[in-house]
Amino acid sequence: MKTPSPDEINKIELDLLLEAVYKGYGFDFRNYSKAHILRRLTYFQNVNGLQSFSQVQDLILHNKSKMKELLGELSIKVTEMFRDPAFYLTLRKRVIPLLKTYPFPKIWIAGCSTGEEVYSMAILLREEGLLKRTQIFATDFNEKAIEKAKKGVYSIDKIKHYTVNYQKAGGKNSFSDYYRVIDNRVEIDPGLRQNVQFALHNLVSDAKFETVNMISCRNVLIYFNKELQDRVINLFTDSLINGGYLVLGMKESLLFSSKSGLYKTIDNDRKIFQKKLLGEK
């Protein structure tokens, strides 16, 4: 019998830890990109002064608040308002005119993090005269992120950058019309979330959310392995009406997916896709 090498032991312990997280708490990270998971877990192990993933496993199984910390570590919340402004510019020109043809469009923003993407979308819809009749579902599996999203209060330090993004995204007004300053924070106009329903939803384990006209899932799939990306694209395909839009992050793609034939590309650089109509080639 041979002794497993340190690398083999590490891998076994990693798999067991992910299994424990799943069995103990229902969060399934087994199909997340291994490089991402390894980086985040190693960081968590080090800041907690632990020697191995087995020790991490022991800690989180017996300590729920440590599990919450780990969850925060595994979910990358990085986001900003009008992220990739050119995407919003294209959305305005190529997608919004079609959404306007529906009496009550529904949009699902999956993996919305702390809400900056949701408020960006709401601003764009308001400027296009569409906000009042659009229902937005904004979901994430991170409870803390959703709580922050509901409040819509952000650090003032970021406003300069967001203002530039907004202008590049084709913003029609002054960005300052959409927030008020309170000390060193800004509060986003609460009217923007009038038709927004924030909810917890896990793309890995939860079922279809709603039937919608557009899904925005940007900078989330990048953390998933191919198998999981495929599962999520299937979920989106089930959730979209025919002719509905799917928009992804700049580094993400539909091409690998078994469902890619069901979509046509509206703009490959901006990752905007449209589900074909029945019988459409």
| Residues that bind ligand SAM in the complex, under the rule CB under 6 A | 75-79, 83, 111-113, 117, 140-142, 145, 202-204, 218-220, 223, 249
Beta bridge partners of 109: 138, 216
Burial of residue 35 (CB within 10 Å: 0-12, 13-18, 19+) is exposed
* Lookup: tokens for 256: 């690998």
Show the beta-strand stretches assigned E in the chain.
Answer: 106-110, 135-140, 153-155, 179-182, 185-188, 196-200, 212-217, 240-248, 263-267, 272-275
Shortest Å, Cβ 4 to ligand SAM: 31
Query: Which residue, 31 or 213, has its beta carbon nearer to ligand SAM?
Result: 31
Q: Which is nearer to ligand SAM, 218 or 275 (CB)?
A: 218
Query: CA-to-CA distance for 244 and 221, rounded, in angstroms?
Result: 19
**Encoded amino acid at 32, one letter:** Y
Please, what is the minimum distance in Å from the beta carbon of residue 211 to ligand SAM?
19
Secondary structure, 3-state, 160-208: HHHHHHHHHCCCCCCHHHHEEEECCEEEECHHHHCCEEEEECCCCCCCC
Least CB distance to ligand SAM at residue 89 (A): 16
Q: At closest approach, how far in Å is the CB of 32 from ligand SAM? A: 8
Pick 83 or 106: Cβ nearer ligand SAM? 83
State in angstroms the smallest separation of the CB of 245 from ligand SAM: 15
Instruction: Closer to ligand SAM by CB, 96 or 203: give it.
Output: 203
Could you tell me the smallest distance in angstroms from the CB atom of residue 101 to ligand SAM? 26
**211, 234, 215, 214: which is closest to 224 by C-alpha?**
234
C-beta of 61: minimal distance to ligand SAM in Å?
21
User: How many alpha carbons fall within 13 Å on the CB side of residue 58?
Assistant: 7
Per the DSSP assignment, residues forming a β-bridge with 63 are none
- In terms of CB distance, is 56 or 220 closer to ligand SAM? 220
User: Quick one: 87 or 175, whose CB is closer to ligand SAM?
Assistant: 87
Specify the residue, 145 or 215, whose C-beta has the smaller distance to ligand SAM: 145
